Structures are given as C-alpha cells and as structure tokens.
Structure 1
Amino acid sequence: MDKISLVVPCYNEEETIRIFYNEVLKYESQLDAELEFCFVDDGSHDHTLDILKALHEEDERVHYVSFSRNFGKEAGLYAGLELATGDYVVTMDVDLQDPPHLLPEMYNIVKNEDYDCVATKRSTRKGEPPIRSFFARMFYKLINKMSSTEIVDGARDYRFMSRQMVDAIIKDQEYNRFSKGIFSWVGFKTKWLAYENVERSAGNTKWSFFSLFKYSIEGILAYSVVPLFISSILGLIFFVISVIALFGIVIRAMLFGDPVSGWPSMVSIMLLLGSMILLCLGIVGLYISKIYLETKKRQIYIVKEKA
C-alpha cells in the first residue's frame, strides 16, 4: 500500500490543528493509502506544540518537529519534506484554505496518469482585500516577465508530489528559499487544479501586507537578475543624459554667458541623480546580502524536539 505524507507547517495554530486533522480523516477511505502527518511547529508561542504532542499520543501516524524559534514558513516546508517518508508527499496549510477534498483526485492523477505533481491555484481571490489582490496579480506578472522560471498566478503551496520530485527539492539546500520558485525550477511534469478561494477555518492569518511584500521581493531576488540589469541600464541612460547636458551647459555659457538663474533645476537634477544612485546601490546591496547569507552556511532550521 502506498504511503502519503502530509507536510503541514504551523505557527500559532492551536485553533486549527484538530479541525484540519479531523477534516483530512474524512477522505482517508477514498485514498486507499496509508497516511502520515508531518506537522512542523515553527516556534509557536501558543499551545500548538501541546496539541501536536497530544495528537501524537492518540495517533502514531502523527509526527512533529518543533523549532527552537520562528524560522519562517519556508524553513517549515523544508523541514517537513525532510521529515516525510511517504511514497507521495503533500504540502498543505493547516487553516484549510487548501481543501482536503481534493486529495483523492490529486492522488489518482499522480498515481494513474503521467504526472509527477499536482499543483493547485486559486481561480478567484474572493474574500481577500482588494489592495492585496491587486498587488498579488502585479507580482506574478512582474516576476514572470523578469524570470525564466514560470510562477503561475494564484499558485498555492498545496501540492501532491512524487517521491522523486521531493528528493530533488530536498537536495536544493539554499538558505534563501522561495518554494513557489523551487517547485517550478526542479521541473517534473505538473498538472494544475484550480479552485475558488477558501476562508480560514479558524484563527487569523499570520501574513501582513508588509510580510507579503517582503516575501515577493525575496522571490524576485531569488529567481531573477533583471533588477541588476535595470540598474545598469539606468546608469547608462543617465550617463548619456549627463554628457548631453554638459555639452548644452558649455555651449550656453559660450553663447549667452553663465547666468546665476537655473539653480532650482540644477538641484532637482542632483536630487534625481542621487536618488537613482541610491536605488541602484540598494538593488546591488540586496543581492550582496543574499550572497552573504548563503556563504555563512547557516542552518535552515534548528530542531528543539521531534517525535
């Protein structure tokens, strides 16, 4: 019998864990496979770990890893993939925004059709703040224009993957991780399933607008060097403009003298050039910071306890 591992990162999710567990069990009979629950406690401050310990005592198929502190969802996904022992591995959110009722269909596709992965995407963003939806769509358009690695608009981390694909992902041990990009970069034949946006079963989202914005920047830096190219082009453009302006100033001075008037425009030009220089230096600095973190070879996560 096949074994399916469910990788579920958790951060302060005491209200949703048992709801998720019970909901998944409703579809166990349709899977005709052994289930393994791989929960990752990402340094929670509530009773998440206590609930995971209790579930482990009740059901030996429930395993967990608890971090020494909060390392982020990317580290949680990676730890869960390393913990999973199944023939197939599913990455899911514990808040039921990744509907378990799709599991039988996903299993059937990977098992019986020529696919290594079934990935999911939201067909709508119903219930999401309009401003967040707008920036999310802009992010996907931007990153797909800037990167050779395609990231599907509305893509979720909810994926049903073969063991071969999971092993390939685990071998990618980069510190600055962006799972949506990694899933696409490793390749393998993928089928997409679309579903309408689902509200959380309980609790509140841990993703603020700022954290999502920061995460989008991480994705762009991880899978595109176009910002560096843009900064170089901007530098070249402003160099040409400055040379033309220099000749214009010299010719004007020769023909009409050098009047004192014009300093506001000069100050504006200096501020513009200064801001562009700082912008380009900032872009370069972000890439250097990523190199710095990679070269330190820090652990992606630290385990405090596991079962």
Structure 2
Amino acid sequence: MTGLTVLVPCFNEGAQVEVAHRELVAALSELDELEILFVDDGSTDDSLDRIRRLSEADQRVHYLSFTRNFGIDAVMAAGFRYASQPWTVQCDADLQVPPEEIWTLLAKAAEGYDVVFGERRNRRDPLVRRLGSAGLHWAARRVFRIDMPRGASTFRVVRTGVARTITELRLPWFIPAVPLVGARYTSTPVSHRERTAGRSKLRLGRLAGHSFELFFGFSLRPLNAVYAVAALGAATALVLAVLGEGPLVDGAQLVVSGLTLAALALVGRYLHRLTRDTRRLPAYYVREADVPVRPEDLLDAARTSEVPAR
C-alpha cells in the first residue's frame, strides 16, 4: 500500500470539518502518501468555507463541491473517481468510527482483499436505526436473495480502481455490487461511538427510499411475485365466472382488484428504474474544486466567469 485517500462526505457538517481533519491527520501521520478528500454534497452551511481554509493550509486536503445535494451515491462516485491514491477509505465526518480503526481495515486488506468493511461493534446509533438496518439486511438476504456481505457498513477501505469500476456501473447500492463484480471482500470488527457533533442527515423517508432501490435494483423476486399474483387473479376470475353473482363473489372481486393494482404499481416501479437508467443522467455536477475536474462533470464546462458589460 503506497498511499491512501480518505474520502469524507460532507452535507452541512460545518461543526465537524476541522475536527475530522485534526483526528484523521493525527491517526494517519505515519503515512507518507495521504490525501484527505472532502466531497461537499451541496451544503447550505459554512462547510465549504471551512474546507477551503483547510485546503489552503494543508496540501494533503482536497475537495469537490456539488452544485446541489445529489446524495451519498453521487459522493462516492465522485470521490472514487478523483481519489489520487491506490487505496481509498470512506470515513464519515461524524467520526462515529474512530479514525484509528482505519489501520484495522488496512491490516485486513493487506491479506489480499479488494474491499474490507468495518463491522461496527456495540453500535451507538438510536434503537430504531439499528433495528431498521438489521431488518433491511435480513430482508435483502432472506426474502429478496440478495448477496449482502454480512456486517458491511459505509466505513470501508477499497482498492480505488475496484471502487471506480463499481461506481461507474451506476448501480443503486455499493455494498451488494461488491460480490456482484467478483471483488474479494471481507468484514472486520471496529469500534463505534456517539457522534461528536451535529446529527444524522439520514431521515426515515430517505432510508425507506434507499431500501426500495436495493430491493428492486438487485432482485427480480418482486417481479416474480407479480407473475404469481397474475396467475392467481386469472384462476380466481375463472372461478367467479362459474359461480356467478353474490356477496362472496363481490368480496373476491374486490380482493382481485386490489392485487391487480398492487401488481401494476410494482411493474411500474421496475419500468421507472428502466427508463431512468436509460436516460443516463449524470450522477452529479461539480461547481467548485481544487483538483482538475473532467469537463463532463462540470455544470459549466466552459468555466465562464464574467458577465458582458457595456
């Protein structure tokens, strides 16, 4: 391992920017080749100003700033694309996993893995969040038959080249994409602690939407269920035709109608994903950066700066 990029997603993390920088530098001071890459996901507080000052004072700090909030998937895509070192570790600005645990991931990666996930011991998140996460992983593996690495979290170290390959596929989740492409991966226990400042930016609605992206993006089981519902509906319709009218028949017809609407909604979800992926809209646009950015990633590739005057 000749060098490491620490990818730090930021969305309104102003209070944490300097804290994260200070603890990361202290923990990784032994590394000769260290880059700390902040990706500002359209913050509306002073996060970007604080990051700018850090980049001016410390040549190891670089940053990208999006034109708006594009989400964590876009942050990862940009971070892995512009990481300058052969290995990248993703570390949230809230520092709930102590930066010293990065060495735990690196030691495991040295055994020959492409990806090492940090499995959080004694997780300090709220109970609802922990139960929701456990339920999500259980449903993904048991119900939808998705290959989800056990114990996987966003605290992970990845070969930068492998991470680029995965994110360029534009799949809705990074974790199940790791076994999908055949990368060598494992998990290792890491400690976990309370947030040192601020609060989580993930809300219930966003978590639910992200869960649907996982289920419908990596599994055809819901679609197979639609086929079963259609077959059941056809059989029921045939029985109703034979029985004729009556209260029981009316109730059965109502159930069949409800199942049909649910099936149509599910098919519509898959069609929505198909049309969205076909359009291939950019995952993000960069407004500002202190590293060279590809023209296609800029909102204004021409970099015009002056307004014509009389």
> TM-score interval w.r.t. the shorter chain?
0.7 to 0.9
Match of 1:233 in 2: 228
Residue aligning to 1:179: 174
Q: Which residue of 2 aligns with 1:192?
A: 187
How many Å apart are 1:66 and its aligned residue? 0.5
Distance in 1, Cα, partners of 2:181 & 2:101 = 24
Q: How does 1:200-215 map to 2 (within 5 A)?
A: 200-215=195-210
User: 2:166·2:174 contact (CA, 8 Å) conserved in 1?
Assistant: no
Query: Does residue 7 of the first structure (1) align with residue 7 of the second (2)?
Result: yes
8 Å Cα contact 1:125/1:197 also seen in 2: yes
Offset, 1:67: 0.6
Which sections of structure 1, spanning at least 5 residues, go unmatched? 251-257
C-alpha deviations, 1:182-206, integer Å up to 9, x for none? 2332232222112354221210111
1:81 corresponds to 2:64: no
> Is the CA contact (8 Å cut-off) linking 1:41 and 1:48 kept in structure 2?
yes
1:51 aligns with 2:34: no
Two-structure CA RMSD over aligned residues (Å): 2.0
Would the aligned equivalents of 2:147 and 2:179 in 1 still touch at CA under 8 Å?
yes
How much does 1:223 deviate?
Answer: 0.6
Match of 1:301 among 277, 284, 307: 284
TM-score normalised per structure 1:
0.87
1:11 maps to amino acid: F
Q: Which residue matches 1:255?
A: none
CA drift of 1:219 comes to: 0.8
Is the Cα–Cα contact under 8 Å of residues 127 and 197 in structure 1 kept in the other structure? no
Cα 1:183–1:157 change in 2 (3 A) is: farther
Counterpart code for 1:117? V
Instruction: Rate the CA distance shift 1:163–1:152 in 2: closer, same or farther, 3 A.
Output: closer
In 1, Cα distance between equivalents of 2:125 and 2:88: 29
Query: Match for 2:101: what amino acid?
Result: L
SS at match of 1:120: strand
User: Paired residue for 1:28?
Assistant: 28
Identical residues among aligned pairs (%): 27
Structure-2 residue corresponding to 1:133: 130
- Structure 1 residues 213 and 288: alpha-carbon distance in aligned structure 2, compared to 1, 3 A threshold: same
Partner of 1:165: 162
How many residue pairs get aligned? The number is 290
Quote the offset at 1:108 in angstroms. 2.5
* Distance change >3 Å, CA 15–CA 28, structure 1 → 2: same
TM-superposed CA distance for 1:212, in Å, is 0.7
Q: Give the whole-Å Cα distance in 2 for the aligned partners of 1:222 and 1:119.
A: 21
* Aligned position for 2:298: none
CA–CA distance in structure 2, aligned partners of residues 74 and 118 of structure 1: 18
Residues 43-63 of structure 1: per-residue CA shift (max 9 Å, x gap): 111011101101101111111
- Matched AA of 1:114: G
Return the index of the structure with the highest Cα Rg: 1
Aligned residue number for residue 145 of structure 1 = 142
Alpha-carbon separation, structure 1, partners of 2:167 and 2:203: 28
C-alpha distance in structure 2 between counterparts of 1:60 and 1:44, whole Å: 23
Contact 1:123–1:154 (CA under 8 A) maintained in structure 2? no
Q: Which 10-residue stretch deviates more, 121-130 or 296-305?
A: 121-130
Unpaired segments of 5 or more residues in structure 2? 291-310
Deviations 1:241-276 (A, max 9, x none): 3323433x15xxxxxxx7xxx43x444323322221
> Take 2:152 and 2:158, find their aligned partners in 1: how far apart are those partners?
15
How far, CA to CA, are the matches of 1:11 and 1:164 in structure 2? 25
Query: What's the CA shift string for 1:61-105, capped at 9, x where partnerless?
Result: 111111111111110111000110102111121111232111122
Report what 1:72 is aligned to: 71
Q: Give SS of 1:156's match.
A: coil
Q: Which moved more, 1:154-163 or 1:18-27?
A: 154-163
